[in-house]
Amino acid sequence: MASQQDSGPAELADGDALIVVDIQNDFLPGGALGVPGGDEVIAVIDEYVRLFVSRGLPIYVSRDWHPPDHCSFREQGGPWPVHCVAGTRGAAFPDSLRIPADATIVSKATKPSQEAYSTFEGTDLERQLRQRSVRRVFIGGLATDYCVANSVNDARRLGFTTFVLEDAIRAVDVHPGDGQAACETMRQHGARFLRLGDLLPAPP
């Protein structure tokens, strides 16, 4: 069920982590699987990164890192065009995305026969978060209705207090309204939504 307060301000604290989901060249406009407006989230994500860096809080950056014969590709019977093949320009992060040197890169969907929309699926992200005593995660990136939604819903299932960065997500909307429906589902799972201006400065 959704919490009684599913939006509004929050104050960063120890035990928080930022998760940036799949901001890769192939998911930007002009890429193999471009998300409409996907490039618009980069500058906003960069500001979230700056805030988390200033507080010394951990940052995790996920990426699709597919083999050339991945099961999600149409040539293999999947629903998507070939995208984010490991080591290619399409799989790379855009130059304008500011990734700190100490950020943790999480590669997912790396096996030919396994799809993974969630950043938690088939990765050790949960273990890493537990080792860092993370209790709250702040999630933004691409795309709202697939990898963001699945990551958020898994984070809630695993017991993390979860915030969706509403100004730093965009939807594929294969079917009109998919992104809006995904946001409603995330709220039903108990995720809170916030924007950059909702992150309050820490008290002196």
Known catalytic residue: 108? yes
Q: Which of 16, 147, 154, 167 is catalytic?
A: 147
Residue 68 CA to its chain's centroid (Å):
23
| DSSP notation for 97-130 | S---TTPEEEEE--STT----STTTTSSHHHHHH
Closest CA to 51 of 87, 10, 12: 12
On the question of a cis peptide bond just before residue 143, with omega within 30 degrees of 0, the verdict is: yes
Q: Which of 16, 26, 84, 108 is catalytic?
A: 108
Known catalytic residue: 111? no
What own/partner pairs with CB < 8 Å and gap ≥ 24 does 106-110 have? 106/60, 106/61, 106/62, 106/63, 107/62, 107/63, 107/65, 108/62, 108/63, 108/64, 108/65, 109/64, 109/65, 109/66, 109/70, 109/72, 110/65, 110/66, 110/67, 110/86
Helix (H, G, I), strand (E, B) or coil at 165: strand
Q: Which of 22, 26, 39, 145 is catalytic?
A: 22
Helix (H, G, I), strand (E, B) or coil at 184: helix
Instruction: Supply the residues annotated as catalytic.
Output: 22, 108, 147
